Chain A
Amino acid sequence: MKKNHVGIVEQIIGPVVDVRFEGYLPQIYEKLLCRAENGVVAFETQSHYNGLARCLALQANEGMSRGKEVEATGETLTAPVGTGVLGRVINALGEPIDNKGPIECSERWAIHRKAPPLTAQTAAFQMLETGIKAIDLLTPYPKGGKIGLFGGAGVGKTVLILELIRNIADSMGGYSIFTGVGERSREGNDILTDMEQADVLKNTALVFGQMNEPPGARMRAALCGLTLAEYFRDVKKQDVLLFIDNIYRYAQAGAEISALLGRMPSAVGYQPTLASELGLLQERITSTKDAAITSVQAVYVPADDITDPAPAAIFAHLDATTVLSRDVVEQGIYPAVNPLASSSKILQPSVVGQKHYETANKALQVLQRYKELQDIIAILGMEELSEEDKITVRRARKLQRFFSQPFFVANIYTQDSGRYVPVEDTVNGAQAILEGQVDHIPESMFYFAGDLDEIIERYEKNKE
């Protein structure tokens, strides 16, 4: 057996460690191992600096000292691929963390890979029904496309992603990969137990690099999850759903270590390589002629500032974006979709049909008009508006409330069972509201219902 090269730690600054090798220098992305106080710590080579290998710790490296020996492994990080990972939970290093023994797989793939060539790629032109009214009507999701859920802290991104898993994983069939990047460990546990109970774990692989782990692990967990999905697409030629919660944390982890790696900070302290780092990841999440990866990515918006460099850079990669806003949360409307800030590339008559397209546009116009009128209402009150504007305001408010919807995964908050609304009913309902067919029903009846029939039923019952 070939003996691996051994280097000596020369400098430790947080998770970034410089290692000196004699007569050898590990390749960029090469995995290194070091025996520290609390077990073996893995590192990934990031750059060469004055003849030293500058490496990033993928596990906590407290208690490490200079002069320690570090072993070069000669290979990059790998992930186990194939059906053996289904039903399992792994970390950024591709190791199982669910105490269920080793993963059965014949192959391990390197997690750093190239995106498929241009000639192999296809564009997505089919709508994916989610059963969520606000999304289906205004920002229809493309099958095989990339979908982003933007929102600040605590506006309901994770709940929405869980509802989507519930609603579409079933209907799509095939396999799903859930990648938890820099989110709460508690949520990881919740997802795991929920999936076990719902018996969907057998078709799902879970990858976690959560917020208690060092930045290296959080960065690599995203790539690890993606590699699992790529295997199913390229080798098994099977459609895959890839959920990433939360892609912002990938960019954030890069920012945490960027300065320590010796790079100059860019705008708002982000890494100068922000756009290229995201590009490397995002270009790999794509559909080929063989099979499609449909990805749903939650995007955290730091300080509720949508112009922050990271979310701004992520926007460009997506086919459909749903933006969740705090002011909608404040009105008690969940999911807190901000219709005017959300968009979808497939909201076109050729994809969704003429009726859907027109209704969605009409809805946006009414909501936009209401937004403009809000300032006037705040200063002068409703009475000062013209009769026509009054009608617009009332319909807009009804529409806003119509977009609230009880979720299956949220019944611990609402004590109300979820509703799945087919897109056709959503379009019909919105059309009826916009045409004034339900002007007689008070707006409070529109909160948290399924389709319009349920609202009418509620009204009739209340009248008695």
Chain B
Amino acid sequence: MRNITVKSSLELTQSQKQTLEKGLKDRYGEDITIEYVIKDILGGLIITDGEKLLDLSMSKDLLKIKKEAERIINEMHAASSAGAQLEKELTPSDIPAFLKFNLGNIVTGNLDIDICGKVIDVADGIIRISGLSSCKYNELLLVNKDTYAIAMNLEKDRVGAMLLNNIDKVSFGDIVYATGKTAEVPVGQALLGRVVNPLGQPLDGIRTLFTEKFRKIESPAPSIVDREKVSRPLSTGILAIDSMVPIGKGQRELIIGDRQTGKTSIAIDTIINQKGKNTLCVYVAIGQRAGEVAKIIRVLKENDAFEYTCMVVSAADDAPSLQYLAPYTGCAIAEEFMYDGKDVLIVYDDLSKHAVAYRTISLLLKRPSGREAYPGDIFYIHSRLLERAAKLCKQKGGGSMTALPIIETLEGDISSYIPTNIISITDGQIYLERELFRSGVRPAVNVGLSVSRVGGAAQYPAIRKLSSKLRLTLAHYRELAVFSHFGSELDDNTKRILEQGEKIVEALKQPQYQPMSVLRQTLILYLIANQLISDVDKKHLGDFLTKFHHFYYSSYPAQAKELNSGRDLSDNAAATIEVACEQFKAYYLASLKKGGLP
């Protein structure tokens, strides 16, 4: 027994029905039932038995025309961007001519029968489909005309899939088409300065994306022998980080902390600091408030950082499946640049929401749960993603992808499940602490718990030399500060360590969106390392350091240029800083005495 559905825009006449039934019976035998459905398909017919589909509708023809037109426009655009001279610009009046030229190919007499399935269950963005026997694991499916889904479970006689968009528009009996490919997104130069959703569709309201290149959103990470040691610095422009938890190109460094502790700011500052440094950036927003994303776009634009950045955005109201895909999409976009030999920085903001989205999907697919109700493979979905960031070896083009995943903790608990999972994947973490943030230490980096496993090898030699003891000095200071909290009789040694620690904390403070140059970092670190700031009062320290930087920059331009290169500090350079500091300090302290800041 075969159930056949016939869709048309208008009720068919009796004679039309008879002709149709006769034709179908000739083909399938007598044992069929036919159901007629009226649906707006513009014209023509759609005939399906739930497994195969014959689409003879007008809307399908229009879709074909649209696709063909897009292809032609894309081709022309690619040709023009590749340097080929077009005889003239394509104007709207030319389009009919193009289409007419191609129309013959589009509308042919051939009957192309599609493989399809039928939706039998719909609930909470998860659908179950009968039919679709050739469906591949993780294949992209098309429901109706413009709804996408991804096949997650291939059961014996049905397919479980998650809807990516229009989750409230799918209903029982809808037709599902196999696309024959796993999910892929447009990639390449065209993505820079753009905002796209996890399917690669533009969200910024401007022209469509012109790109010929597509890349699968899931692809294997570079193998062990395709990699190379992390060896070049990726400057964040944030002194506390570049000195104590340095990041190298190809590293994965986690930014972790409670809400409102400046996690995103560090990532944004880092993107801004890549200006003119030949590093492209991808920012992935996962389940973020749209307002927040708009603010980030504005900040990037204001700082001229948007043109080398691509934003992949899934908002808080998007389906969990779309939020789940977002980081893989961003990763594919970044990967294309990496394999092209370029340096890329990718920010995942944030993976806690990603974990929650995946938990939602897993539970809806009835997969069993473990710790904190997360599914068993929650570690694997993150490790698979973050392992794709790497420094490639020369044979593979030498490109790099640096990843800055972000994780939000609750009440500073970094030892809960998802945070420790990610910590065990990344090459280090920057831990931001709310207590520090509130007491005005910004960026609120907890030095004791922050670490960079590989960045040290990638630091600028001068900075590495000057900051080698800084991290431990600060960690010891903090431990001692807690220990001697109640002590009234401190020995001189302890007092000295405490005083020095306070000064360092003060010197490392830095406002948002103001990345520091290598020169400025070197100067501050030099003064700290050689204890040249011990006679400057704590409350004037920030001001002193800023003004000293200006003074040095204008008084010793040649030396300043050398320091800015980050090369190892020569004795000569060190002596110059020392002299400059003495000069400036004498002047500064004298004018302070006279009252008023210099």
A-to-B contact residues, CB < 8 Å: 10-14, 18, 37, 60-67, 89, 97-99, 152-154, 182, 184-186, 188-190, 192-193, 208, 210-212, 214-215, 252, 255-260, 265, 268-270, 300, 302-305, 326, 329-332, 377, 380-383, 412-416, 442, 444, 447-448
Contact = CB atoms under 8 A, between A and B. Distances in A.
B393 to A, nearest CB: 9
Given A189-B229, A382-B487, A414-B472, 5 more contacts: A154-B423, A211-B383, A214-B380, A270-B370, A330-B479
B220 A332 contact: no
Contacts of A62: 136-138, 182, 218
Contacts, number: 194
B260 interface: no
A193 B457 CA distance: 14
Interface string B403-442: 0000000000001110111111101110000000000000
Contacts of B485: 381
Given A185-B224, A412-B457, A302 B420 contact: yes
B380 A256 contact: yes
Contacts of B424: 153-154, 300
Contacts of B453: 154
A377 B456 CA distance: 36
Interface stretch (B150-158, B193-201, B550-558): B150-158
B229 A259 contact: no
B125 to A, nearest CB: 19
Contacts of B428: 154
A212 B486 CA distance: 49
B421 A153 contact: yes
Contact of B135 (A65, A152, A154): A65
B377 A14 contact: yes
B117 to A, nearest CB: 12
Chain B: number of interface residues, binned into ranges: 35 or more
16 contacts: A13-B154, A62-B138, A89-B224, A152-B420, A154-B429, A184-B425, A189-B224, A193-B229, A210-B224, A212-B383, A259-B367, A259-B368, A303-B415, A326-B449, A330-B475, A412-B454
Contact of B221 (A37, A212, A329): A212
Interface in B358-380: 367-371, 376-377, 379-380
A302 B416 CA distance: 8
A98 B226 CA distance: 9
B488 interface: yes
Contact of A66 (B135, B227, B472): B135
Contact of B155 (A13, A208, A447): A13
A313 B109 CA distance: 68
A73 to B, nearest CB: 22
A252 B224 contact: no
A252 B379 contact: yes
Contacts of B377: 14, 215, 256
A184 B387 contact: yes
A269 B371 contact: yes
Contacts of A415: 464-465, 468
Contact of A97 (B156, B225, B483): B225
Interface string B448-470: 11010110110000001100100
B371 A268 contact: yes
B387 A329 contact: no
B383 A304 contact: no
Contacts of A190: 229, 454
Nearest to B382: A211
B285 interface: no
Contact of B376 (A188, A189, A192, A259): A259
B139 interface: yes
Nearest to B484: A382
Given A153-B421, A380-B486, A63 B182 contact: yes
Nearest to B367: A259
Given A13-B155, A97-B223, A154-B423, A65 B229 contact: no
Contacts of B229: 189-190, 193
Nearest to B372: A303
A415 B462 CA distance: 13
Contacts of A414: 468, 472
Contact of A331 (B133, B423, B448): B448
A186 B468 contact: no
B228 A189 contact: yes
A415 B459 CA distance: 12
B394 interface: no
B304 to A, nearest CB: 32
Contacts of A377: 483, 486
A210 B220 CA distance: 12
A7 B6 CA distance: 37
A261 to B, nearest CB: 11
B390 interface: yes
A450 B153 CA distance: 57
Interface string B378-402: 0110011001101000000000000
Contacts of B416: 303
Contacts of B451: 154
A393 to B, nearest CB: 9
B448 A330 contact: yes
A209 B595 CA distance: 67
A255 B218 contact: no
Given A14-B377, A331-B475, A381-B485, A65 B137 contact: yes
Contact of A211 (B387, B390, B456): B387
Interface string B520-549: 000000000000000000000000000000
B152 to A, nearest CB: 8
B415 A152 contact: yes
Nearest to A211: B383
B368 A269 contact: yes
A155 B71 CA distance: 53
A12 B230 contact: no
B139 A63 contact: yes
A214 B377 CA distance: 10
A97 B224 CA distance: 8
Contacts of A152: 415, 420, 423
B487 A265 contact: no
A256 B376 contact: yes
A246 B388 CA distance: 20
A62 B135 CA distance: 11
B34 interface: no
Q: Which of B451, B472, B493 has the most CB of A within 10 A?
A: B472
Given A67-B133, A303-B420, A184 B427 contact: yes
